[in-house]
Amino acid sequence: MSTKAIVCRCEDVTLADIQHTLEIGYRTVEEVKRYTGLGTGPCEGKECMAQAARLCLMALRTDGPDKNDAVVEPFTSRPPVQPAPLGIFARGDEEP
Amino acid sequence: MDRRLNEVPHGERLTLQFEGGDVTACAGESVAVALFASGENVLSRSIKYHRPRGFFCLAGHCGACLMRIDGKPNVRACKTPAKEGMRVERQNAFPTGAFDVLGAADFFFPKGMDHHTMMTSPRALNAVLNKVVRQLGGLGKLPDLPTPQERTVELPRPRTKHVDVVVVGGGPAGLGCATECARAGKKTLLVDEQDRVGGSLLAHPQHGVRAANEALAAALKAGVEVLSSSTVLAWYPEDAPKAGAEPGLLAVHTPDGLLKLTASRYVYATGSYDQNAIFTDNDRPGVLPARAVGRLLVRFGVRPAKKPVVVGDGPYAKALTDALAKTGATVTRIDGHAEQITQANGRSWVRSVQTSKQRTIKCDLVAVAALPAPASELPRQHGVPVAFTDRLGGFHCQVDEDGRSPVPHVFACGDVTGFGGIDDAISAGARCGRAVVASFSGNGVGKSA
Ligand code: FES
């Protein structure tokens, strides 16, 4: 077994993956998500998004003093926030 | 092996079918807790590198416990109540979870797999690599074919409901808020995704089952309607519950199907998600958030470990350390600042950790009390602004002292406004409840329609 520090457990995204993403210049949580797949698994970012934001913020702060009060934004929260069986949406008609 | 504590009452004994053998469960336990209590550790393999994965949050928030249950893939074992005769299998492992030849992916890609460079290889090689990736990736296998009875089952019809106040989340903040609203005569519905209401109270040795039951009893006595085992999936701003009605509804996944829920006031008391610390092999099974360890002990009466390490210096880490020691465990606590974990060792379960002070500590569990992250997705969908604050755990709702958000009729209280723990949540919930009530008489933001 090789050694890895995991940030996103669902998609096996490692700290090294995120550091690489930041090294090539990306700085937003959305970009980290799109480049690494972080936050796209069954937990939808519940375990990794805050960590990714923290790492982006640290990278922004090392970019220079003008970035000291840079803000980070979460990636878009899309329905459903928890996995659900499609069957519950399949019937359009309501109870009378 | 049975890790259940004798001095705690357990539900009636049941038998699960786990990969050909029998495993004992007690009524009231989830499948994940039943397996752990019976000494089964590895639940599955991870999606890409096939690393061993056990449960993590025990709250339905991480996806680490996906198993094949009664022929259905990707079911959360920590959210599935154990039932007599249930068929439980590991998934994402070949040939078995305990011995997984695909784990070679972890070995062959020590620096990780970069899907980007795999895709830019020459075409022929790309095709081959695609096949490799297909074989390695993916979650589970297709479900068993439906039985003749299942094939004729009618899909549940969606229902609609309107209340004065809906409170999402039945932890300390939500329970207190709902109780205040119901006491003032408002028709109040509390929705909670767990099968047992109480949220983080059920993970705290100094609060526990008794405090959760008392708070629930107070809510019921005040007239709160409680909908448990029900997950609010989304706020849909453009959908109307019925033709001609005002748009905007909460979609709720209940045991009886979809509920389209509308309310005059919406309160988000969704709490916070447990987080891990970042260190080498931090995903080793047995490295758990402190509150998951607390849930095992406090809610389920299961002995988490004999030699646990607790990481953290806050009040919760201290309370958990004491409670673990009371079970007879030898507990090592490290503060997580001056001394941090640098690496976890062990194959299918953690066996020791290394620290920044060059110590190696033998252990059979690591409880990480990292700052939980506010669960702000639903209020974000509802237009509530959030900000990132490190010491508050992540993206928290921006509301005033009493939980009023800038969005009319929408409130938030408790950890979702920034992690503060149970005592803060209790007082914030009560304050928010009073503000919600006041808003109906025009004293607060957002007049009643
Ligand atoms: S979702 Fe089940 S352990 Fe986290």
Residue pLDDT, tens place only, B232-252: 999 999 999 888 889 999 999
What per-residue string of b and e applies to B330-364 under the rule 16 or more CB within 10 Å gives b? Answer: ebbbbebeeebbebbbbebebebbbbeeeeeeebb
Give residue B111's pLDDT.
62
| Residue B143 identity (one-letter amino acid) | P
Interface touch B275/A54, C-beta < 8 Å: no
Chain B nearest CA to A56, separation (Å)? 12
Q: Is B166 in the pocket of ligand 1 (CB under 6 A)?
A: no
Q: What is the pLDDT of residues B273-302, one digit of tens each?
A: 999 999 999 999 999 999 999 999 999 999
User: Domain total for chain A?
Assistant: 1
Interface touch B62/A53, C-beta < 8 Å: no
Assess B293–A contact: CB distance below 8 Å, yes or no.
no
Q: What is the pLDDT of residues B351-397, one digit of tens each?
A: 999 999 999 999 999 999 999 999 999 999 999 999 999 999 999 99
Tell me whether residue A70 is in a domain: yes
* Average pLDDT value for residue range B208-237: 98
Tell me whether residue A74 is in a domain: yes
Tell me whether residue A33 is in a domain: yes
Give A81's contacts in chain B (Cβ within 8 Å): 232-234, 377-378, 381
Average pLDDT, chain B: 90
* Average pLDDT value for residue range B398-404: 98
Interface touch B347/A1, C-beta < 8 Å: yes
Tell me whether residue A65 is in a domain: yes
Considering only CB atoms, A46 lies closest to which of B110, B273, B281, namely B273
Q: Is B212 in the pocket of ligand 1 (CB under 6 A)?
A: no
Tell me whether residue A1 is in a domain: no
Interface touch A54/B273, C-beta < 8 Å: no
To probe the interface with B, which of A24, A88, A89 has the most B CB atoms within 10 Å?
A: A88
Interface touch A5/B282, C-beta < 8 Å: yes
Q: What is the pLDDT of residues B325-354, one digit of tens each?
A: 999 999 999 999 999 999 999 988 999 999
CB within 8 Å of B366: residues ≥ 6 apart: B286, B287, B288, B308, B309, B311, B341, B344, B350, B353
Which range of residues forms the domain containing residue A25? Answer: 6-91
| Predicted-complex ipTM score | 0.94
Tell me whether residue A86 is in a domain: yes
| Adjacency order of strands within the sheet including B352-355 | B341-345, B352-355, B360-362
- Report the distance separating Cα B232 and Cα A26, nearest Å: 33
Q: What is the pLDDT of residues B49-93, one digit of tens each?
A: 888 888 999 999 998 999 999 999 999 999 999 999 999 998 866
Lowest mean pLDDT among B13-27, B34-48, B177-191, B334-348: B34-48
Q: How confident is the model at residue B200 (pLDDT cuts 50, 70, 90)?
A: very high
Chain B nearest CA to A18, separation (Å)? 11
Give A80's contacts in chain B (Cβ within 8 Å): 233-234, 251, 253
Give residue B42's pLDDT.
65
Secondary structure class of A35 (helix, strand, coil)? helix
Q: Is B385 in the pocket of ligand 1 (CB under 6 A)?
A: no
Chain A nearest CA to B386, separation (Å)? 8
Q: What is the pLDDT of residues A15-68, one digit of tens each?
A: 999 999 999 999 999 999 999 999 999 999 999 999 999 999 999 998 888 877
Tell me whether residue A96 is in a domain: no
Residue B185 pLDDT > 70, yes or no? yes
Q: Is B62 in the pocket of ligand 1 (CB under 6 A)?
A: yes
Give residue B219's pLDDT.
98
Tell me whether residue A73 is in a domain: yes
Q: Is B61 in the pocket of ligand 1 (CB under 6 A)?
A: yes
